[in-house]
Amino acid sequence: MSAETTEAARPEPADLPRVSLSERLVRMPVVLPLFTFLAVLVLWEVGTRVFAVPSYILPAPSRIATGFGAVDLPRWIAHIWATLRVALMGYGAAILISLPIAIGLAKSKLLSRALYPLLVVIQSVPVVAVAPIIIVVLGTDDAPRVVITFMISFFPLVVSMTTGLMATPAELIELSRSLRAPQHREITQIRLPYATPYIFSGLKISITLAVIGAVVSEFVAAELGIGYFIQFSTSMFKLPQAWAGLAILVAMSLILFQAVSLIQRLFFPWSLPKAAK
Amino acid sequence: MALVKDAISFEGVGQTFLADTGPLTALKGVSLTLDQHEFVAVLGPSGCGKSTLLRLTAGLIAPTQGRVSVFGKPVDGPRDDVGIVFQNATLLPWANVEENVVFPAKHMRGRVDDKDREQARRIIATVGLEGFEKRLPGELSGGMQQRVGIARALFLNPDILLMDEPFSALDALTRDAMGFELLRLWQASPKTVMFITHSIPEAVLLADRVVVMSARPGSVIADLPVPLGRPRDENSLRTPEMQDYMAHLRGLLIHREVA
C-alpha cells in the first residue's frame, strides 16, 4: 500500500487537504499524553504552592521527588524486588493453575456446570478481607502473599482462557475430528493458538491485578516491599516518601503491562487486532 | 482402481437432533447414491439438512435412522479419507499458506516431513497460489483463502471431496471463477464430489447431477442429471434448454418451500 502511494502519483504539498491543529495532535500518540501528564504535574506543583497545601495532605511533585531520597538505592531495590517477586510468583501460579482449569471448562460441559459457580463464589470473596485470615493460616513468609496475589489475578485468566478456548470455529474442531487426531493436539494445535488473543487480554488485566495483590498482602504482614514501605511511611506521617512509593508502584504496573503487550507483539503479532498492527 | 458404483450411499437416512426446544428432525427418509468420481450438487433451502448429509458422510455424526456407507462399508466414525471444504475457509490465522495446507499431516501425525512439504507446494501450485506459500491468511483475499481451504482438503489426496457451500461467502465474480477452477481441478484429478449449495446456476454449472432437497425435515424431492456436456464455460447456461432446466429446479425449490 505504502509502496504504491510513494511510487505512483504523490500529491503536491499544495494539493493536500489542510490539516487542523487538533487533527495533527491526534496523530501524535506519544507526545500528546506526555504533554497532558506534564501539564498535570505543573498544575499540581503550582496549586500546592499557591494554596500552601500541607505536604501530609498533598505534597507537591517536587516534595515527592525528595521522598525518593528517604532511603538509599539498595533499600529501594530490596523493596521493589520483594513486591515484584511476589507479584510475579502469584501471577505465574495463576497462569499455571488457570490453564488446566480453563481447558477442563472448555472441553467438558459437565465440569463447567459443576465448577463455574464455585469459581464465581471464589471471585466474589473480597481478597482484602481474606488476606489476614490467609496470613494466619499460612504464616508470614512468601507463601501467603503469593496465595493472595494468585487469588486476585486468577479469575480473569480463567474466564479469558475459557472464552478463548471455546471461540475456536466449529469447523476446525470437525476437521480435527475427521483427521482422528489425538485430543491433546486439538488443544495444542487448534484451540490454544486460537485462544491467544483472549489469553493475552486476560494476561494484561491480571498482571496489574497481581501487583495489587502483592501490595495488599504487604499491607497485612510484611517487613519489606513497596506496600509495606507505603504503610510504614504513612504511619510516620512521611507522606512525600509514601507518594514516592506509590509512583514506583504505578511505574511497576505500567512496565509489567507493557512487557506483556510486548511479548504479544513480538511473538504473536497475528493475534493483535487489525487496527493495532 | 476400477470405477465402482456407490462411492457414497444413503439408505433411508433420518437424523433427529435434541435441540433445547425439543427434538428437531433435520433429515427424513433420505436415500441417495453417488457413483465414484461423480460430481453431485445438493440443492436446497437454508436449514434443510444439507450440511447434515455432509457431516454424516464424514462420520462426524451418526444417523439416527438408516445407514450411510462409503465404498460399500458403513460409516462408523470419523474418516480421514474424505476432504472437507467449509463455507468459510476456516484457516489457521497464525499459520502461513504452506503450514495451513500441511496441517492435516501435522495434526494427524504430530510432525511434517519433506515429502509432506513437497506435496503441499505441488497442491498450492495446482490451486494457483504459487508464490504465496509464506503469506498469512489475513493477507489473502477471500477467494485466495478458499483456494487454500481447497488445497488443505486435497492434501491427503482423498477420493471423496465434501464441499459445504464453499463459495457462498465470496463475491459473484470470484464465485464464478472459483467454480471453473474447481472443475479444472476435478477434471485433472477426478474425485467424488458432494457439493452443497443453494445457488441453482452454481449447481447446474458444476454438477453431473443435481439433488433437490425439501425444507426441514429435509428429504430428496428430485434427483436430476444435468443435460450439459463438458467442458463447460460462461455461456453453457445461456441455451434455452438450460434456462428451462434451471426454471424447473427453481419451481421445485419454491413450490416446496411454500408448501
Q: How far is B223 from chain A (nearest CA, A)?
A: 28
Which residues of B have a CB under 8 Å from any CB of A?
A: 55, 58-60, 77-80, 82, 84, 86-88, 90, 92-94, 103-104, 106-108, 110, 136, 138
Residue labelled with grid coordinates 459443576: A114
What's the distance, CA B223 to chain centroid?
17
Residue B78 is nearest to which of A177, A185, A271, comparing CB atoms?
Answer: A177
User: Average pLDDT for residues A190-215, to the nearest whole number?
Assistant: 94
| H or E segment and range at residue B142 | helix B142-154
Q: Are strands B209-213 and B65-70 parallel, antiparallel or unpaired?
A: unpaired
Distance from CA of A172 to the nearest CA of B (A): 7
- Measure B228 CA to nearest chain A CA, in Å: 33
Quick one: pLDDT at residue A2? 42
Return the pLDDT at A21: 79
- Interchain CB contacts (distance < 8 Å): A and B: 58
Residue B72 φ/ψ region, left for φ over 0, alpha for ψ in the -120 to 50 degree band, beta for the rest: left
Q: How confident is the model at residue A97 (pLDDT cuts 50, 70, 90)?
A: very high
User: Distance of CA B163 to CAs A115, A228, B46, B64, B192, Å?
Assistant: 39, 64, 15, 23, 11
Contact A189 B88 (CB under 8 A): no
Tens-of-pLDDT digits for all 259 residues of chain B?
455 678 899 998 999 888 888 888 888 888 999 999 999 999 988 777 888 899 999 999 999 999 999 988 889 888 878 899 998 888 999 999 999 999 999 998 888 999 999 999 999 988 888 899 999 998 999 889 999 999 999 998 899 999 999 998 888 888 888 899 889 889 888 899 999 998 999 999 999 999 999 888 888 988 999 888 888 888 888 899 999 999 999 998 886 554 4
Q: Which of B58, B87, B110 sits opposite A178 (nearest CB)?
A: B58
Is there a contact between A169 and B88 if contact means CB atoms under 8 Å apart? Answer: yes
* Residue that has been written with the C-alpha cell 486435497 in this structure: B154
With a cut of 60, say whether residue A3 has pLDDT above it: no
Which chain B residue's Cα is nearest to A174? B60
Which of A121, A147, A119 is closest to A220 using CA atoms?
A147
Q: Which residue of A has its CA nearest to B135?
A: A270
Fold of B8-81+158-258: Rossmann fold (3.40.50)
pLDDT at A277 over 80: no
Q: Compare all CA atoms of chain B with the CA of A186 and give the residue at the minimum distance.
A: B107
Give the gap in angstroms from C-alpha A164 to the nearest C-alpha of chain B. 14
Chain B environment of A190 (Cβ under 8 Å):
92, 107
Mean pLDDT over each residue of chain B, to the nearest integer: 88
Q: Do B55 and A189 count as a contact with CB atoms less than 8 A apart? A: no
* Contact residues, chain B, for A178 at CB < 8 Å: 58-60, 78-80, 82, 84
Identify all chain A residues contacting B55, using CB atoms and an 8 Å cutoff: 174
The C-alpha cell 490451486 sits at B127
Confidence of residue A9 (pLDDT cuts 50, 70, 90): low
- Mean pLDDT estimate for chain A: 88
Question: Cell 504464616, residue?
Answer: A139
**Which of A180, A196, A271 has its CB closest to that of B80?**
A180
On the question of pLDDT at A245 being above 90, the answer is yes
Residues of A in contact with B140 (CB under 8 A): none
E strands present in chain B? 8-19, 22-34, 39-43, 65-70, 73-74, 82-85, 160-164, 192-197, 209-213, 220-225
Going by pLDDT thresholds of 50, 70 and 90, the confidence category of residue A10 is: low
How high is the ipTM of this complex?
0.85
On the question of pLDDT at A98 being above 90, the answer is yes
pLDDT for residue A201 is more than 60: yes
Nearest residue to A200 via CA among A155, A257, A274: A257
In chain A, the residue whose alpha carbon lies closest to the alpha carbon of B138 is: A270
Sheet holding B22-34, edge to edge: B22-34, B8-19, B65-70, B73-74
Question: Which of A109, A172, A174 to mutate: most B Cβ within 10 Å?
Answer: A174
pLDDT tens track for A119-154: 888 888 888 888 889 988 998 788 999 999 999 999
How far apart are the C-alpha atoms of B169 and B177, rounded to whole Å?
Answer: 14
Task: Give the Cα separation of A148 and A127 in Å (integer).
Answer: 7
Q: What is the pLDDT of residue A15?
A: 66
Q: CA torsion angle for B226, B229, B235, B237 (degrees, to 10)?
A: -10
Binary contact (A174, B55; C-beta < 8 A): yes
What's the pLDDT tens digit per position in A56-96? 888 999 999 998 888 899 999 999 999 999 999 999 999 99
State the helix-helix crossing angle for A142-166 and A73-107, rounded to 10 degrees: 40
Is 60 exceeded by the pLDDT of residue A212?
Answer: yes
Contacts of A180 in chain B (CB under 8 A): 77-80, 108
With a pLDDT cut of 70, the percent of chain A lying above it is 93
CB-CB contact of B213 with B219 (8 Å): yes
Q: Do B92 and A181 touch (CB under 8 A)?
A: no
Residue A30 has pLDDT above 90, yes or no: no
Cβ-Cβ contacts under 8 Å for B249 (sequence gap 6 or more)? B43, B200, B203, B204, B210, B212, B222, B224
Residues of A in contact with B106 (CB under 8 A): 189
Chain B CB contacts of A189 under 8 Å are 103, 106-107
Determine which of B107, B155, B163 to mutate to test the interface with A (most A C-beta atoms within 10 Å): B107
Domain ranges of chain B: 8-81+158-258
Q: Do B78 and A193 touch (CB under 8 A)?
A: no
Phi, psi (deg, nearest 5) at residue B86: -95, 170
> Strand, coil or helix: what is B190?
coil
Q: Which of A40, A76, A35 is nearest to A58 (CA)?
A: A40
Chain B, nearest residue to A170 by Cα? B90
Query: Is there a contact between A243 and A59 (Cβ–Cβ < 8 Å)?
Result: yes
